[in-house]
Chains A and B, each alone.
Chain A
Amino acid sequence: MNETKEVKIVENATCTFCGCVCDDMVLKVEGNRIVEAKNACVLGKAWFLNHHIEDRPVALIDGKPASLDAAVERAARILTEARYPVVYGLSDTTCEAQRIAVAIADRIGACVDTTTSVCHGPSGMAFQGVGEVTCSLGEVKNRADLVIFWGSNPAESHPRHMTRYSTMPKGLFVPRGRKDRTVVLVDVRRTKSAPAADIFLQIKPRKDFEALWALRALVKGVRLDDGIEAETGIPLAQLQDLAQRMKSCKFGVLFFGMGLSMTRGKHLNVEAALALARDLNEHTKFYIKPMRGHGNVTGADNVVSWQTGYPFGVSLARGFPRFNPGEFTTADTLARGEADAALIVASDPMANFSQPAREHLARIPYVVLDPKETPTVGHAAVAFTTATYGINTGGTVYRMDDVPLPLRPAFPSPYPSDEEVLRRIEEAIRRFQNN
């Protein structure tokens, strides 16, 4: 059969694969496929070009194909009857869907938590302790003459960060682009980002806290001895040089990755970095931002914050929000065997969580929404196949610098959006509760 497929071009589409949320994509769409993704990096291309409408049932109940209506009823029943439910995930969906998920958590008295807790959750705790001297990526592009990446490998995790925002672009006060900036990389590994840096400091594993405090001391004019090299792996002269550069730059920014937040010390490592950036403002303009991973993980922080007052790990069980990482965070509620049901939106704890947490999740009934088949979908009591955000559905996402951006979908999906499924579950829960 000779089918002529409609070809269309979608300009200024938004890539939601990583926290850079590049909104300058030019997509060529043929029927139900994206055949070209201009401006996308290698990850963005894989995201767009591998996307096709999979031939899967719209819903599964206990692994068997089911109608959307039946699955909504069953999901709502599980969540209404639970005594300690958790709502988890949320970083790969729109803000519009996130707000309904939080509303559901509120209605059923759940702990609401996002994948932030297992990426930059400790950074969220550190922001509360120290504060964040923050700026947008637009300011970085136009002003930054010193750019430091610490425990982050943007060449592989955020491939367009350097070219679009932080090191390469020509800006108002850095007219020659890369030539007007100094780029520093601090990491345990000599990663693929190292060739893009002017200075690479190879730090010993788990010594970030010590190195950051050494820099704080040097910035304050405290004398240190050579022993710091044995401790951190970085010679004193290099630390002195970096401290000097940080004090004398016009506009410095430190982007930190999960090398700080996931390593022993976690929020204390991040607090050290935040305090260093704060201290530097006695000398110059200095900013600090986390390198956020998932497309809308920053949106999840924002939505959960404006609905509950806290960014993640929030219990609504008593009818008012309580924040306590370690107690209400999903990695803990599952590993301790506390949760008795879960609603998981666009995330894969069956692959990412610790063994005890996975084992408990496998024992309890849970509901999952995901466009793709994952290990978490495989064990779900109720699984919904949903449309992919940014490719099939519109909505709002937040870039890693807290700038909200609209999505421009490429083509419609036969599957419902996360927002639609969550709205229907919420309605059914309300109905059960009122009866």
Chain B
Amino acid sequence: MPESFILIPGRTSRQGTTLNEGKLKGEYLRETNTVLMNPDDCRRLGLKGGERVRLRSAYGEAEALVEPAKPGELPSGVLFIAYGDTSSRLMGADTHGTGMPDSKGLDVTLEIPPSVLQ
């Protein structure tokens, strides 16, 4: 069953430092493709960290690695990801007349491929 979450893309130090090494390099790609989840949600879903999950929004989908956030950092039901290609893929094109697509607080569903849970 896909689980519903609110996804918050944002900046991180690592995204900023690895950006200077190159957007096409491994470190940047990993940082911007890792989604953080409340540790209680991880436990409930049987995720330990390092698994690949599938995120879907009304506009697109992307795969990402999942890692537990530090306790207290994220409320249950909220995911965080560093801005990058993955977050852009989930963003809609409609800007509601502002020029800015909804880029934070996105409704997404998260699906865990069966192979991960075996």
Q: Which of A51, A189, A327 lies at the interface centre, i.e. has the most chain B CB atoms within 10 A of its CB? A: A189
**Inter-subunit contact B98/A326 (CB<8 Å):** yes
In B59-102, which residues have CB < 8 Å from any A CB? 59-60, 72-75, 78, 80, 83-85, 88-89, 91-102
A329 at interface by CB-CB < 8 Å: yes
Contact of B97 among A18, A50, A325, A374 (CB under 8 A): A325
Quick check: is B11 within 8 A (CB to CB) of the other chain? yes
Q: Does B21 lie at the interface of the complex (its beta carbon under 8 Å from any beta carbon of A)?
A: yes
Partner of B73, one of A190, A331, A351: A190
Q: A46-B17, A153-B11, A189-B80 are in contact. Are A266 and B23 (CB under 8 A)?
A: no
A17 and B98 form a contact (CB under 8 A): no
A188 to B95 alpha-carbon distance, docked (Å): 22
A51 to B89 Cα, complex, angstroms: 29
Are A354 and B100 touching (Cβ within 8 A)? no
Cα A374 to Cα B29 with chains together (Å) = 12
Q: Mark A308-337, 1 if CB is under 8 A from B, else 0.
A: 000011000000000001110111100100
**In residues 355-408 of chain A, which contact B (Cβ within 8 Å)?**
355-358, 372-375
* Inter-chain contact A329/B23, CB cutoff 8 Å: no
Residue in A189, A329, A372 whose CB lies within 8 Å of B8:
A189
Is B2 located at the chain interface by the 8 A CB criterion?
Answer: no
B113 CB within 8 Å of chain A: no
A96-104, A116-124, A273-281 - interface stretch = A116-124
Does A284 sit within 8 A of B, measured CB to CB? no
> B105 near A: Cβ within 8 Å?
yes
Residue count of chain A within 8 Å CB distance of chain B: 61
Residues of A within 8 A of B74 (CB): 189-190
Q: Given A189-B80, A259-B104, A373-B24, decide whether A266 and B96 contact each other with a Cβ distance below 8 A.
A: yes
Asked if B100 and A188 make an inter-chain contact with CB atoms under 8 angstroms apart, the answer reads: no
- Chain B contact-residue range equals 35 or more
CA distance A204 to B105 in the complex (A): 10
Q: Max chain A CB contacts within 10 Å: which of B21, B75, B105?
A: B105
Inter-subunit contact B16/A262 (CB<8 Å) = no
Contact of A121 among B16, B60, B100, B102 (CB under 8 A): B100
Distance to closest chain B CB from A179 (angstroms): 26
Distance, CA A351 to CA B87, complexed state (A): 10
Known: A189-B74, A189-B78. A355 touches B97 (CB 8 A): no
Q: Interface majority SS on B: helix, strand, loop or mixed? A: loop
Given known contacts A190-B73, A373-B22, A354 and B98 CB-to-CB distance under 8 angstroms: no
Q: Which residue of A has the minimal Cβ distance to B19?
A: A46
Per the bound structure, the CA–CA distance linking A118 and B19 in Å amounts to 19
Most buried by B among A45, A262, A264: A262
CB distance from B34 to the nearest CB of A (A): 15
Cross-chain contact B78 with A264 (CB below 8 angstroms):
no
The answer to whether the Cβ of B6 comes within 8 Å of any Cβ in the partner chain is yes
In A260-291, which residues have CB < 8 Å from any B CB?
261-264, 266-267
Cβ B100 vs Cβ A50 within 8 A: no
A residues near B102, Cβ cutoff 8 Å: 262-264
CB-CB under 8 A from B78, the residues of chain A are 188-189, 205
A202 CB within 8 Å of chain B: yes
Please give, as numbers and ranges, the residues of chain B lying within 8 Å of A46 by CB-CB distance. 16-21
Query: Is A90 located at the chain interface by the 8 A CB criterion?
Result: no
Instruction: Report chain A residues within 8 Å CB of B100.
Output: 117-119, 121-122, 261-262, 266, 325, 329, 331
Rounded to whole angstroms, the CA-CA distance of A46 and B72 in the bound complex is 29
Cβ–Cβ contact B11 & A354, under 8 A = no
Pull 17 A–B residue pairs with CB atoms less than 8 Å apart, ordered by A: A50-B20, A51-B20, A117-B100, A156-B13, A188-B78, A205-B78, A262-B100, A262-B102, A262-B104, A263-B104, A267-B98, A293-B11, A313-B99, A355-B88, A357-B93, A358-B88, A375-B24
The 5 closest A-B pairs by CB, nearest first: A329-B99, A326-B97, A335-B93, A117-B99, A46-B17
Sample of 19 further A-B pairs with CB below 8 A, known A125-B98, A189-B10, A351-B85 = A45-B17, A47-B20, A50-B21, A51-B20, A156-B13, A191-B73, A204-B75, A206-B105, A259-B104, A262-B104, A262-B105, A263-B105, A330-B99, A331-B101, A354-B91, A355-B93, A356-B93, A374-B24, A375-B85
